[in-house]
Amino acid sequence: MGKTTTAAATAIHAAKSGRRTLLLSADASHSLSDVLGRRVGASSVEIIPNLTAIEVDAHAEIKRHWGKVHDFLVSLFEHQGIDGVLAEELALLPGAEEITTLFAVDEFARSGDYDFAVVDCAPTDTTLRLLTLPEVAHKSVRLLLKIQRSLAKVMTPLAKGMVSAPLPDAAVFAELEALLYAKLRGLRERIVAEDTTVRLVVTTEKMVIEEARRAFTDLCLFGLRCDAVVINRLLPEAALREPFYREWGDVQKDRTVSIAEAFAPLRILSGVLQREEVVGATALAEHGRDLFSDCEPDALLASVEPISFHRKGDQYSVTIPLPGADLGALNIAKVEGDLLVKSASMNRALKLPRRMALLDLSEAHFRDGVLSVFFRVSPVGSAGTPQGNA
């Protein structure tokens, strides 16, 4: 899709306009070195004046960040007759790598005197979920610790003969909990902060657009702000004159419109397919200038409140900010997994979260420029109404 290229072009453009910029790769499979055309590693490298780049090394970060957790596990394992836990083993535990990467990103971003940090991440894998979930991660961790702790309380006296591990006492758990809680809360605050925003990168291929639509819904679902979609690899006029690409030109025109409908009110940025692959600082700077020809790379590019999803008992709802709209003129329908909102002047197609896609539309309100659409569970035996009007 060009996520790394877009991230690098954004950062280089910002640095060239005088912002002290940090460019971080949080994708487990780093491509930053390849895109910049020079080796970037786990410690900061200056790419051009004002621009520092880092590829986060999750293993090294686990060694740094998880000191206490690590010590705790080592002592537990030693008593079980195992030679201790290597950081490598800890890193294998699901989620450890992703959450550590996020901590590292946060820490790097705070560490230097940066005006602007650009993070290149793989949006459709687990990272996204963790990115959106420090709050829940914290709650789950707390519950797990609670269970562990109650286990430990009973078992410490009982277990002496049974289990060879002396179970850690409540104080150790409390310490662990505090450690994780503070960190996770800090992370969550950073992620939902007013000045943090997500930019999605798509091409005009159907598959890519559909995937980005699902990512957009997931991001909204967990309260993250998105402000722009970059359409990458757009064929310029000169390319469309080639007969081979004629049909691609028609497709491109249609898809550009459907992208605008699917991601509104996000700002659409156009990344044109260059005459050759965009690699190295010079080409990236040029690409960045094209992308941000009429806006600033570090500005919030869409100022509307984000779309949000809610649940109260069995009633689910979505609120969509539509400043200036008129409820009477709105046509609202659910078609397959999409919520369609139409009026004379606009078309919206929002992919619903998986759970809500199974429900029926029930009602809609419009207040202070915000549309609320409610859903309910289909009556048993009914096939569900495919369409409904507000």
The footprint of other proteins on residues 77-136 (CB under 8 A) is: 77, 80, 82-83, 85-86, 88-89, 91-95, 97-98, 122, 124-126, 129-130, 133, 136
Q: How far is the CB of 281 from other proteins (least distance, A)?
A: 14
Q: Which of 300/340 has CB closer to other proteins? A: 340
Residue closer to other proteins by CB (options 96, 302) is 96
Name the minimum Å distance from CB 343 to other proteins: 27
Looking at this protein, which amino acid is placed at residue 362? S
Q: Which of 20, 28, 260, 270 contacts other proteins by CB under 8 A?
A: 28
Cβ atoms of residues 63 and 87 within 8 Å: yes
Q: CA-to-CA distance for 94 and 212, rounded, in angstroms?
A: 24
DSSP code at position 38: S
| Residues within window 222-261 making contact with other proteins, judged by CB under 8 A | 236, 238-239, 241-248, 251
* By the rule CB under 8 A, 210 interacts with other proteins: yes
The nearer residue to other proteins, 110 or 355, going by C-beta atoms, is 355
182 counts as binding other proteins under rule CB under 8 A: no
Interface pattern 39-68 for other proteins (x via CB under 8 A): ------------------xxx---------
CA 110, CA 225: separation in Å to the nearest integer? Answer: 20
Q: Check: CB of residue 40 under 8 Å from CB of residue 32.
A: yes
Residue 246 φ/ψ, nearest 5 degrees: -55, -50
Amino acid at 15: A
Yes or no: say if 201 and 2 are a contact pair by the CB < 8 Å rule: yes
Q: Of the listed pieces 147-155, 181-189, 297-305, 319-327, which binds other proteins according to CB under 8 A?
A: 147-155
Closest separation between CB of residue 72 and other proteins, Å? 13
Query: Exposed/middle/buried for 57, CB within 10 Å: 0-12, 13-18, 19+?
Result: middle
Q: Which two tokens stand for residue 108?
A: 């790097």
Residue 366 contacts residue 323 (beta carbons within 8 Å): no
Map the footprint of other proteins across residues 327-386, applying CB under 8 A. 353-356
- 68 versus 311: smaller Cβ distance to other proteins: 311
| Cα–Cα distance, 16 to 157 (Å, whole number) | 64
Q: Which of residues 260-319 bind other proteins (CB under 8 A)?
A: 275-277, 279, 309-312, 316
- Find the length of the chain: 390
